[in-house]
Structure 1
Amino acid sequence: MTQEIHGTVADGFEAVREEFAAFVTGERPDYEGQLCAYVHGRRVVDLWVRDGSDATSLHGVFSSTKGAAHLVVALLVQDGTLEPDRKVTYYWPEFGAEGKGQLTLRDLLAHRAGVIGLDGGFTDDELADDRAIAERLADQKPFWRPGTAFGYHALVIGALAGEVVRRATGRTLQEVYEERIRAPYGLDFFLGLPAALEPRYRSVRPMTPTDEQQALLDSLPRGPHTLASIAFNTHVPEPGTLESYANSRAVRAKGPASAGGVAAARGLAGMYAAAISEVDGRPPLLKPDTVAEVGQIHSIGYDLVARTHKSYGLGFQATADTWHPFLGAGTFGHSGAGGSQAFADPRSGLAYGYTRRRMAFPGGAAPENQRLVKAVHTAALAG
C-alpha cells in the first residue's frame, strides 16, 4: 500500500517532496517520518507520512537531544557565564578526582574527558537522571588520559555539561533550555515532556533488520568490557534496549540531555533555524563569532568508542565532515540512534530536521538522510 505524503514545500523545493515520496514508496507500510527545513529563518519544507500521526507528533530523538544541550552551553559561553578554556573544576570541584583536575570545559565538550561511563554501569533509574549520572561520574577514573584522545560519551555528555551549567547558573540545563530556547519559539522539542503532552508521543518501534543486516550486526566485535559497551551501558547484567529507554515515561519526563529528548521535525529544524537566523522577528540566538566557534572542529580522527572516523565541534557533531561533505564548512548539529538528524548550515542558511518512528539500520542518522539532505541543500543554494 502506497502511503500518502502530507504537508507543503515552498516554490523551488518540489524536488525535496519528490525525493521524500520516492524513499517512502520503498519503505515498510508502517513507516512514519517527518521532514522539515528552514532557509534563512523561513520554513520551506514541512512534510510527513501519516499513520495515526501528523506534523505535531513527537518521536524519541535519542542523541539529537545533544544539540539542544550544546546550544544551551553555547548561549552561556556567549553570555560570558561559561568560559570554554577554564578547568571543569572551576565550576565543579568534585570532578577533579582520579586525575581529571586539568581537563577544560572545551575538552569535555569535545568528548575528550575519558569518562564515558562507569566500571559497574548505571541503573535504568540513573540513566533517566542527569544529576545522578554526574554524581557517579565525578569519582570515576577516566578510561584514557583526559585530553589525549576522544571517544563518544554517548549517554553521559549531557549530564556532564549539565552539571557545569547547574553549578554556574543555579539552574538545570533543562530549565535554561525551556526558558531561553523552547518556550520563546514554541518548539516541539522537549527536554522533559509534560504529562499533558504524552498523547502526542509515538512510541519508538525497534529495528527489524533483514537477514543480511543481522549477519552484519552479528559480525561486529563485541565484548562485555569494551569501551563501546561501557559507553552504551551494555556491560551490565541486564542491559535495556534503546527503544525501551526512549519509551520510558521516566526518561521522557526528566529529559536527560544526552539522549532523552522528544521532538517533531518542526522542533528540530526550528531550533537550528533560531540558532543562526532571524525567525518571526526574533534575532538569531547565536552571534556570528559563537556560530563559528561551535562549528569549528575540535576533535577529529579515530573515535575510541565508535571505532571509526568521527569529528566534533564544541559539543556538536561536525556534520559536514561526519555525514554530509557537500554541506558548508562549520555546519553543526547532531544525529540520533533512531535515525533522526538535525543541523544548521550557516553558510547556506539551511536548518534541517528529520525524525522517524521505527529505528533505522544500522543506527545513527538514517541512510535516507543522505538523499533528503542533498535535495534540500541543492534547493536552498538555488533559491
Structure 2
Amino acid sequence: MSVTVNGTVAAGWESVRAEFEAFAAAEPHSPEAQLAVRHHGRIVVDLWAGEDTEGDTLTGVFSITKAAAHLVVALLVQDGVLDPERPVSSYWPEFTGYGKERLTVRQLVAHGSGLINTPDGLSYEEVADDAVIAERLAAAKPYWEPGTAYGYHAFVIGALTGEVVRRVTGRSVQELYEERVRAPYGLDLYMGLPVEQEGRWKPVLEMLPTDGQLAELAAGEPMTELMKVAFNAHREPPMDMVAYANHPKTRALGPASAGGIGTARGVAALFAAAVGGVGGRAPLLKPDMVAEVARPHTPDVDVVTATPDHFGLGFERQPAVGPQAFGHQGASGGQGFADPVTGIAYGYTRRRFGFPGGMAPENDRLTAAVLKVARAL
C-alpha cells in the first residue's frame, strides 16, 4: 500500500529518509511508525509514516520503558545511594526464601531472580500495578534458583527493581524518573500519562499478518513453558499484549516494565540525555557508568528467550551497533539505543504491532543507514 512519509532530516541524512520511505512503501499495512535520531544531541532525523500518526502522537512503547526505569537505577548507583553488590534482601527484607536472600541487586537488575511471574498469572489490573506485583513476588518461589541463570522478566522486572528503589529512596521509580529525567530534559516519554496529554495518545493497533506471515507463524516453534509464564500467556485467557498497552490503568500508572507512553522523539531524547545531554543540559551518566550499563552482565543464554549474552546493567546490549551501545526494544516493534562511539541516540516506535513481535526487522535496515552516515561524519 502507499504510505505517506512526513517529517524532516538534516543535510547529509537523506539516505536515512530513503530507507524509511522504502520500508514504509513495502509494508502491507500502514505501520503507523515514527523514527527519530539524534547525533551528539542534535536532532537529525524526525520522520513518521501512517494514516493516523503524527510526529507528536503518543502511544505505548512496551519494554522500551525498561530503559527509562533502569536509567533511574543507574543514576542511584552512580550517586552511591544503591550498591549493586548488596543483597536485595538488605534493602527489601520481605524478599526472602528459596535462595532469594543471596541474590544481589546486580543479579536482580540483569533478570537473574527467577521470579518471572506468579503460577496463576496476573490480571490486567495487577500487571499494571508495580506495587501489587512486588508484593505478590516478594515471598514467591522462583522458576530457577536465584543467581544461577537469567531469563527475561518481561512484565515484572520493573516492579522488582522499582521496589528496591522505593525501599532505598522512599520514592517510586516513576516519581524519580519524572523528577530527575523526564521533566528536566523535556522528554516526550512518560511513565504514567498525565491527563492533559491524553488528547495526543492513540492506541496500539493489532498485528495484521499477511497469508505468508500466518503460515510462518503456524510453522514456527511454539512458546516454551517459561516464555508463556514470562509473557503472562499461561493464564486463562492468555494476556493480550495490545489490550495491556491500551488499558487505562496501564496508561495511568506507567508500570516500569512495559507501560510507558511516548513518541520516537522521546525515546531518542532519553538515550541522548543519558550519554550526551539534551538542550544544553549535561549528560545524566558519567563515562564510567555508561561503560558499566553496557558491560555484559549475563554470559550464556537467556533461559526464557534463548538470546545469548543479553543484558548489561538492566539494559539490553546492542552488539550489532557496537560494544559500548545499550538500549531496549519494545514488543510492538519499537527500539531505542545510545551509541557513545558514534554519538547516536535512536528512537523508533510502531503503533501497528509488527510481525512477529519484538524489535521489528526494519530496525536493522534503519540502524545500518543511520550508522553509515554517523561513521562517515
Q: Same fold (TM over 0.5)?
A: yes
Aligned equivalents of 2:25, 2:212: Cα separation in 1? 21
Tell me the equivalent position of 1:79. 79
Q: Is the 8 A contact 2:268 2:336 kept in 1?
A: yes
Q: Is the 8 A contact 2:163 2:172 kept in 1?
A: yes
Deviation of residue 198 (structure 1)? 1.4
Cα deviation digits, residues 25-64 of structure 1 (max 9, x gap): 1113533111001111111111112423311101211111
2:229 matched to which residue of 1?
A: 230
Aligned residues: 377
Which residue identity lines up with residue 356 of structure 1 in the other structure? R
Alignment of 1:361-372 (within 5 A): 361-372=355-366
Counterparts of 1:216 and 1:22, CA distance in 2 = 23
- Checking the alignment, whether the CA contact within 8 Å between 2:263 and 2:349 is kept in structure 1 is yes
Structure 2: how far apart are the matches of 1:260 and 1:139? 24
Other-structure match for 1:160: 160
Query: Is the 1:318–1:333 Cα contact (8 Å) retained in structure 2?
Result: yes
Cα distance in 1, alignment partners of residues 148 and 95 from structure 2: 18
User: 2:9 maps to which residue?
Assistant: 9
Matched, 1:373 2:367: yes
Equivalent in the alignment of 1:147: 147
Q: Equivalents in 1 of 2:27, 2:85: separation in Å?
A: 47
In the TM superposition, what whole-angstrom CA distance separates every residue of 1:129-152 from its partner, at most 9, and x where no partner exists?
Answer: 000000000111111111111110
- What residue in structure 2 maps to residue 343 of structure 1? 337
Q: In structure 2, what is the equivalent of residue 137 of structure 1?
A: 137
Matched, 1:270 2:264: no
CA distance in 2 between counterparts of 1:25 and 1:221 reads 30
Deviations 1:135-175 (A, max 9, x none): 00011111111111111000100000100000000000000
Q: Structure 1 stretch 336-345 or stretch 295-304: which is displaced more?
A: 295-304
Aligned to 1:253: 252
Report the Cα offset of residue 212 of structure 1: 3.0
Q: Secondary structure at the match of 1:303?
A: coil
Secondary structure (helix, strand or coil) at the match of 1:305 reads coil
Question: Paired residue for 1:312?
Answer: 311
On the 8 A contact 1:329/1:347 being kept in 2, the answer is: no
Deviation at 1:87, TM superposition (A): 0.5
1:83-116 alpha-carbon deviations (Å, 9 max, x no partner): 1111101110111223200000000011111111
Letter in 2 for 1:24: A
Aligned residue type for 1:256? P
Q: Which runs of 5+ in 2 are unaligned?
A: none
Worse-matched range after superposition: 90-99 or 351-360? 90-99
| Matched-pair identity in % | 55
Which letter does structure 2 place at the counterpart of 1:84? Answer: P
**Shift of residue 333, structure 1, vs aligned partner:** 0.4
Distance 1:307 1:277 in 2: 32
Asked if 2 retains the 8 angstrom alpha-carbon contact of 1:297 and 1:318, the reply is yes
Residue 217 of structure 1 and its aligned partner are, at CA, apart by: 2.5
Between the aligned partners of 1:145 and 1:31, the Cα distance in structure 2 is: 41
2:346 is paired with a residue of what secondary structure? strand
Provide the residue aligned with 1:296 in structure 2.
Answer: 295
* Aligned mates of 1:142, 1:232 — CA distance in 2: 15
| Counterpart AA for 2:185 | Y
Give CA deviations for 1:289-320 in whole Å, capped at 9, x if unaligned: 10000010101332111134351100000012
CA distance in 1 between partners of 2:275 and 2:307 (Å): 30
> Aligned letter for 2:16?
V
Q: Does the CA-based 8 Å contact 2:8-2:45 persist in structure 1? A: yes
Compute the displacement of 1:222 (Å). 4.1
Report how far residue 197 of structure 1 moved: 1.2
Q: Does structure 2 conserve the Cα–Cα contact (< 8 Å) formed by 1:328 and 1:346?
A: no
**Structure 1 residue ranges, 4+ long, deviating more than 6 angstroms after superposition:** none
Give CA-to-partner distance per residue, 1:332-357, whole Å, 9 cap, x none.
10001000000000111110000011
Secondary structure of 2:299's partner? strand
CA shift, 1:220, in A, is: 4.2
Distance 1:351 1:103, change over 3 A: same
Q: Secondary structure at the match of 2:300?
A: strand
Q: Could you tell me how far apart the structure 1 residues matched to 2:363 and 2:44 are?
A: 17
The Cα shift of 1:12 comes to 1.2
Distance 1:381 1:26 in 2: 27
**Structure 1 gap segments, 5+ residues each:** none
Amino acid at match of 1:35: L
Q: Which moved more, 1:302-311 or 1:334-343?
A: 302-311
SS of the residue 1:259 aligns to: coil
Post-superposition offset of 1:328: 2.0
SS of the residue 2:73 aligns to: helix
Checking the alignment, whether the CA contact within 8 Å between 2:297 and 2:309 is kept in structure 1 is: no
SS at match of 1:97: coil
Structure 2 counterparts to residues 29-40 of structure 1, below 5 A? 29-40=29-40
Specify the code of the residue in structure 2 equivalent to 1:18. A
Work out whether residues 328 and 348 of structure 1, in 8 Å CA contact, stay in contact via their aligned partners in 2.
no
Q: Separation in 2 of the partners of 1:275 and 1:376?
A: 19
Measure, in 2, the Cα distance between the counterparts of 1:281 and 1:197: 25
Q: Shift of residue 329 of structure 1?
A: 1.1
Supply the distance in 1 between the matched residues of 2:107 and 2:354 (Cα, whole angstroms).
31
Compute the RMSD of aligned alpha carbons. Answer: 1.4
Amino acid at match of 2:226: L
Aligned partners of 1:88 and 1:104 also within 8 Å: yes
1:99·1:141 contact (CA, 8 Å) conserved in 2?
no
